[in-house]
Structure 1
Amino acid sequence: MRIRASQRVLRARISVAGLTLLTACSSTPTIQGLKTYSYPSGQHQPNLITYKESPSVGGPHNPTWQNCGVYPAPLFQMYVTHSLEHGAVSITYRPGLPDVQRQVLRDVARTHSYVLLSPFDNQQAPIVLSAWGAQLGVEDASDSRVQAFLQRYEQAKSSPEPGAPCQGGVSSTT
């Protein structure tokens, strides 16, 4: 499974008052295995919330967000989902993931200011990356799709509130 390095380039000729303009635009590369979802934003609820996707990718969430950073224990998804709304990416891994893989993920998370990293029980893939409305499962921390996902979704305009805080919230774990 690899990212398609390039997609087709579309070209159009536009004639205006005898001048011919040539335009080109390339589409966004496909991230193989990416799943997308649609959720409205701004739905704050104070109690525990059950999510359709696990880990969550959007929907109702607590009024307080989870601080971005590296965590040794699972996080409450109601806080993480609020961070996703702010343009954060959550990287979760199965608790049994080898130490070498976890270290790669910690190094990745520490080089990004809008990333949360934590273990997560019972997820389908060993590693899952989640953003508002998008999710990708991978088998290995060195998979090139990890960086592609981060590049596309960290602080992306597709998140409802990119640039909103990823600090000043909660740092609690389950």
Structure 2
Amino acid sequence: MRAIAWCAQHPAPSILYPLETSVTNDENLTVKQQREKRRAEKVAALKAKQKKEKRGRLIAIVLSATAVVAVLGIVITVVVSNATRPEPQVPLTAAERAAIEIEGEELFPGLDPRHTTDPVQYDVMPPAGGPHNPSWLNCGVYEEEQPVEYAVHSLEHGAVWLAYDPDQISDEQLTELRRLAPDRHAIVSPIAGLESPIIASAWGARVQVDEPGDERIGQFIDKYWLSPAAPEPGALCSNALDGPGRVS
């Protein structure tokens, strides 16, 4: 009984047994197995590196292709824009102007350049000068008729006015006519009931043509655009009146 009581008061200590593990220790591998394991690890690392480099190359190719497309788009835009826009013009010298002969040219010497706010009755349309409004018409392309007295003031500043009858030219011809106009000091606008489909006008001169392909339009622009024959050549043709229907 004493032995039983002593055992109850002094239980046997717990014994901990090691758990089984599936982790393989390199020390338990043979030399061959260790070598094969290291080789497999190197192969896996190399494949991962190659995959990463391939992904990087693909990204670089996509970015390069995108950049090339963007550059080509800019180049094409510039080429097309330049192809449809007249080259910037430089006024000719007096000798060069004098050498240009224009068949059918109408001259109007001694025009009155005074300013007036009253309506003016001009002898021809479009006029080649004469009394005009104190304010000028901003040069540009218009798709509606413009106040004539303001446009004549622009002629005083050396502008060329390409007037056309919308009932006598096609849309294609109008596009071609607009391309002929210089970038500045030029007006393109319709006037119904003209004597001819197109009449180019400048201070003191006009010429009538049937189509924009007539070489006399270019000759007229060369001879009279910013001509010293105008009372105020080179004066502003902007910052004044924007007429109705301005396109550009």
Q: Residues 57, 26 of structure 1: CA spacing in aligned structure 2 closer, same or farther, 3 A cutoff?
A: closer
Instruction: Find the aligned partners of 1:82 and 1:173 in 2 and give their Cα distance.
Output: 17
Residue 66 (str. 1) matches residue 137 (str. 2): yes
- 8 Å CA contact 1:76, 1:173 repeated in 2: no
The superposition leaves residues 31-80 of structure 1 with CA deviations (integer Å, 9 ceiling, x where unpaired) of 00100002344300012211111111111000000110000101111001
Instruction: Find the aligned partners of 1:41 and 1:75 in 2 and give their Cα distance.
Output: 21
Residue 106 (str. 1) matches residue 181 (str. 2): no
Q: Indicate the residue corresponding to 1:118 in structure 2.
A: 189
The correspondence for 1:140, drawn from 184, 195, 211, is 211
Instruction: Find the aligned partners of 1:32 and 1:147 in 2 and give their Cα distance.
Output: 12
Q: Residues 42, 27 of structure 1: CA spacing in aligned structure 2 closer, same or farther, 3 A cutoff?
A: closer
TM-score by length of 1: 0.81
- 8 Å CA contact 2:160, 2:185 repeated in 1: yes
Secondary structure at the counterpart of residue 129 of structure 1: strand
Residue 172 (str. 1) matches residue 228 (str. 2): no
Instruction: Find the aligned partners of 2:178 and 2:204 in 1 and give their Cα distance.
Output: 23
The residue correspondences of 1:1-174 to structure 2 (distance < 5 A) are 28-96=99-167, 97-109=169-181, 111-173=182-244
- 8 Å CA contact 1:42, 1:60 repeated in 2: yes
Instruction: Find the aligned partners of 2:233 and 2:97 in 1 and give their Cα distance.
Output: 24
Give 4+ residue runs of structure 1 displaced > 3 Å after superposition. 39-42
Instruction: Find the aligned partners of 1:138 and 1:112 in 2 and give their Cα distance.
Output: 21
Q: Percent of aligned positions with the same letter in both sequences? A: 36
- 8 Å CA contact 2:161, 2:201 repeated in 1: yes
Unaligned 5+ segments in structure 1 are 1-24
Q: CA deviation at 1:27?
A: 5.4
Greater helix fraction, Structure 1 or Structure 2: 2
Q: CA deviation at 1:173?
A: 3.5
Greater strand fraction, Structure 1 or Structure 2: 1
Q: Indicate the residue corresponding to 2:64 in structure 1.
A: none
Greater RCO (CA < 8 Å, at least 6 residues apart):
1
* Letter of the structure 2 residue corresponding to residue 101 of structure 1: Q
Secondary structure at the counterpart of residue 219 of structure 2: helix
TM-score by length of 2: 0.57
CA RMSD of aligned residues (A): 1.8
- 8 Å CA contact 1:39, 1:58 repeated in 2: no
